[in-house]
Chains A and B, each alone.
Chain A
Amino acid sequence: MNRAPWIAFGVSLALAASWLGLVLVPQLQLGSEPMVVIEATGQDYPLARSGGAQAGAAVYRACGCAVCHTQQVRPAAEGGDLARGWGRRRTVARDYLRDEPPMLGSLRLGPDLANLGARETNNVTLLFKLYDARIATPGSTMPRFLWLFTKRRVPAGFAQSPEALPLPPAFAPPPGWEVVPTDDARALVAYLRSLQSAALFYEVFPPVKPRPATNGVAPVSATNTPPTR
């Protein structure tokens, strides 16, 4: 008996089954998931990103930040994410409707960034991190993203550009030089500050019990308030 057609057919069938179940069915369930309207403001959640933040998402993708940073918060029962202050609730599929593509990541050599915009609101702090993470955290293993910055000479008789990074002396360039973030760096920072998945709606209600705001996360108010931006 010639088994070849049966083997080819059977394997195709097995693949078709897993394709239908794990590609098509998710697409039918989630592919047309609507945004949720936040009652207090009438805005759609997830909030639309500014043009700069959208450009920053492309920089985030191109630099491969997702290799070391996740953007997903697990429920309290499945790990210490909430206890660590990386969010005030788990993340759900609806949080990523504006992400093309969502960069969830699968390895945490750096902290989770799903709610970075809620913890860190200072552009300069984030630019310092990108320029040299050792400024804030001596011994950090985060790489430097030097191509996001221009090191240039300050013309004689002129003051430093107002955009120049106010680097601490140990990291500052030699006198007469300044370090200026490029458009890409500013876009990336705008994107990082747009990262928030804190809004509460029925899939993620009720939230976890309020925590003291020691981790830089605003205390939970159990309403449909939009994330502060």
Chain B
Amino acid sequence: MASSNPPTLPPRATPDELDAAGRGPVLTLLVATVGWLVGAGALALIAAIKLHAPGFLADSAWLACGRVLPATANAFVFGFATQAGLGLALWLISRLGGAPLVGRGGIIVATCFWNLGLAIGVGGILLGDSTGLEGMELPRYATPILAVAGGVIVAWTAANFLARREPIRHVAEWYLLGALAAFPWLVATATLLTGFLPLRGVVAVATGAWFLQNLFTFWLGFLALAALFHFLPQLTGAPVPSRSLAVFGFWSLALCGGAAGLNRFHGGPFPAWMISVGVVASVLMLVPTLAVARNLFPLLRRHDRTRPPAPALTFFRASLAAFTLAGILGAANAGDAARHVTQFTLVTPALDQLTLWGFVGLAMLGVVHDLVPRLVGRAWPSARLARWHQRLAVAGVALLVVSLGVGGVVQGLALNQSALPFFAIVQRTVPFLGMATLANLILLTANCLLAVNLLRLLAQLGRERWAQFAKTWLTPLPEEVDP
């Protein structure tokens, strides 16, 4: 544990040293992130088309809609968001703590195994080996690989945290530390209870709901909030207005965030108290949501106009808006009156996407956007591609959430008219599902632009490295030169 006595700490390393040390592991994580982002986007587009065009790719079992949708979600959460979050955690801990990253080789090897395990798991879902539990679909032969590989990365991240040369000063570090502390709980629960200690009856479903809620709050949510609390002040040049409010927001989120999961089974086959806990926690989530929003929104207004606008700021701004909206809509959707209409409709995926894509996804895109150029020490090859990536990504998320949300309300109102045949209800949702397909197409396009930009950057870098290598290789050493 780092001493609380500053004079005993070694002096902090320069930013260049920190970036040089972090380049290998963080860049590995971020490149894998972009790969999964494009893969998940392609799967999401296939699933979205199949929801309204049942004849599309209907011959192959492994592209069944019921397999592609969970595969998409797992690729997005564990391939894209988690790896981007881990990259952010490593970089930020090193940057704020002032100590160069340690355990670089171990982290890179563990990252390779994480990607291998995830590829096996997502492939397993496509082959029909899903566990059948919403949120914990990865088959039991993949989860141990992920648990070990993820455990190694998180352990090295924690070790880096302990090796820091400065005491904790930043709100972002609290959220990172919270995410690191939560990881073992989440992984142990998911790994054990899906494959090794299966639970009986609806308890398995309740556990799945607990896992999903806590994964969203303590893992993805905390990592994304760490990004917002670091990058918003940094990019706008204004400090976080109130530290006390930040403390309050952090602890109230930790207290309320874990209990809201069963809200999604309103009216379901559970004892009433379990649903009630979920409803109460969902409403209480308003408190941390508003505390964080109250603290971060002023930063956007106080933005120093003399500085050139940072490109990644668009993502963080949209992510903050999505976080606030998700908290408010989640609380509004908790009550009986709303659930009466929205339960089992497209509103559920709309709110999930608002959190996953809007809040977490956009924050992580901002992280990729900001970190990659820093790490390699050069700007994105095409500023135009980067600009279009921002616009299309934000527009795609907005269209996705709005089309699913409005479609869900239309669907829910129709579901409650018992005289209306079911097929008529389905027909009413089709236009909205079509708009969701368009949104997924926009998102995939945006993310392909990011991938192209990244590949060009890596190609430039590779060419330069090669030229340098060839030059040193072909130049004789001084002692080999005849005098």
Q: Give me the interface of A with B, judged by CB distance under 8 Å.
A: 1-5, 7-12, 14-19, 21-23, 26-27, 29-33, 61-68, 70, 72, 74-75, 78-80, 83-85, 90-97, 99-111, 133, 137, 139-147
Give complex CA distance A23, B206 in Å.
Answer: 7
In the assembled complex, the CB of A82 is this many whole angstroms from the nearest CB of chain B, namely: 9
Give complex CA distance A31, B207 in Å.
Answer: 12
Q: A4-B161, A75-B267 are in contact. Are A144 and B417 (CB under 8 A)?
A: no
In the complex, whether B472 has a CB less than 8 A from a CB of chain A is no
Give complex CA distance A96, B185 in Å.
Answer: 27
Check if A66 sits within 8 Å of B66, measured CB to CB. Answer: yes
Check if A30 sits within 8 Å of B201, measured CB to CB. Answer: yes
List B contacts of A137 (CB < 8 A): 423
Give complex CA distance A71, B128 in Å.
Answer: 20
Q: A64-B67, A109-B426 are in contact. Are A104 and B205 (CB under 8 A)?
A: yes
Which of chain B's residues has its CB closest to A15's CB?
Answer: B185
List A contacts of B251 (CB < 8 A): 10
Q: A30-B271, A111-B422, A141-B54 are in contact. Are A15 and B59 (CB under 8 A)?
A: no
Check if B69 sits within 8 Å of A64, measured CB to CB. Answer: yes
Give complex CA distance A215, B66 in Å.
Answer: 27
Chain A to chain B contacts (Cβ below 8 Å), 13 pairs = A2-B168, A4-B168, A21-B277, A22-B261, A66-B132, A68-B66, A85-B418, A100-B198, A102-B205, A108-B415, A109-B429, A110-B422, A141-B430
Give complex CA distance A142, B426 in Å.
Answer: 10
List B contacts of A72 (CB < 8 A): 265, 267-269
Which of chain B's residues has its CB closest to A78's CB?
Answer: B267
In the assembled complex, the CB of A104 is this many whole angstroms from the nearest CB of chain B, namely: 6
Check if B185 sits within 8 Å of A12, measured CB to CB. Answer: yes
Check if A140 sits within 8 Å of B206, measured CB to CB. Answer: no
Q: Would you give the 0/1 interface string for B261-299, flagging 1 where the beta carbon is closer than 8 Å to chain A?
A: 110111111110010010000000000000000000000
Q: Quick one: which of A62, A139, A145 has the most chain B CB within 10 A?
A: A62
Query: Interface residues of B, CB < 8 Å — how many?
Result: 90
In the assembled complex, the CB of B169 is this many whole angstroms from the nearest CB of chain A, namely: 10
Q: A31-B200, A63-B66, A102-B205 are in contact. Are A140 and B54 (CB under 8 A)?
A: yes
Q: A23-B189, A66-B134, A107-B346 are in contact. List 15 more A-B contacts (CB 8 A).
A: A1-B4, A11-B182, A18-B214, A23-B210, A30-B271, A31-B199, A61-B131, A61-B132, A63-B66, A78-B343, A80-B418, A101-B132, A108-B345, A142-B54, A143-B58
In the complex, whether B255 has a CB less than 8 A from a CB of chain A is yes
Check if B426 sits within 8 Å of A93, measured CB to CB. Answer: no
Which of chain A's residues has its CB closest to B50's CB?
Answer: A143
List A contacts of B206 (CB < 8 A): 22-23, 26
Check if A2 sits within 8 Å of B1, measured CB to CB. Answer: yes
In the complex, whether B121 has a CB less than 8 A from a CB of chain A is no
Give complex CA distance A178, B12 in Å.
Answer: 76
Which of chain B's residues has its CB closest to A138's CB?
Answer: B423
Check if A101 sits within 8 Å of B70, measured CB to CB. Answer: no
Task: Identify which of B1, B64, B128, B418 contacts A143 (C-beta below 8 A).
Answer: B64
Check if A80 sits within 8 Å of B416, measured CB to CB. Answer: yes
Which of chain B's residues has its CB closest to A215's CB?
Answer: B418
User: Dominant SS at the A interface?
Assistant: loop
List A contacts of B174 (CB < 8 A): 3, 7
Task: Identify which of A11, A21, A104, A143 contacts B254 (C-beta below 8 A).
Answer: A11
Check if B133 sits within 8 Å of A101, measured CB to CB. Answer: yes
Task: Identify which of B58, B269, B426 contacts A146 (C-beta below 8 A).
Answer: B58
Give complex CA distance A139, B58 in Å.
Answer: 16
Check if B269 sits within 8 Å of A101, measured CB to CB. Answer: no
Check if B178 sits within 8 Å of A96, measured CB to CB. Answer: no
Q: A2-B167, A72-B269 are in contact. Are A64 and B60 (CB under 8 A)?
A: no
In the complex, whether B120 has a CB less than 8 A from a CB of chain A is no
In the complex, whether B370 has a CB less than 8 A from a CB of chain A is no
Give complex CA distance A2, B50 in Å.
Answer: 53
List A contacts of B416 (CB < 8 A): 79-80
Task: Identify which of B64, B193, B269, B339 contacts A78 (C-beta below 8 A).
Answer: B339
Check if A5 sits within 8 Å of B69, measured CB to CB. Answer: no
In the assembled complex, the CB of A81 is this many whole angstroms from the nearest CB of chain B, namely: 8
Which of chain A's residues has its CB closest to B254's CB?
Answer: A14
List A contacts of B161 (CB < 8 A): 4
Interface residues of B in 226-262 (CB under 8 A from A): 251, 254-255, 258-259, 261-262
Task: Identify which of B132, B259, B274, B348 contacts A107 (C-beta below 8 A).
Answer: B348
Check if B65 sits within 8 Å of A68, measured CB to CB. Answer: yes
Q: A96-B202, A133-B54, A146-B59 are in contact. Are A104 and B269 (CB under 8 A)?
A: yes
Check if B348 sits within 8 Å of A79, measured CB to CB. Answer: no
Check if A95 sits within 8 Å of B168, measured CB to CB. Answer: no
Interface residues of B in 173-228 (CB under 8 A from A): 174, 177-178, 180-182, 185, 189, 193, 198-207, 209-210, 214, 218
In the complex, whether B130 has a CB less than 8 A from a CB of chain A is yes
List B contacts of A139 (CB < 8 A): 423, 427
List B contacts of A145 (CB < 8 A): 64
Check if A147 sits within 8 Å of B61, measured CB to CB. Answer: yes
Interface residues of B in 119-153 (CB under 8 A from A): 128-134
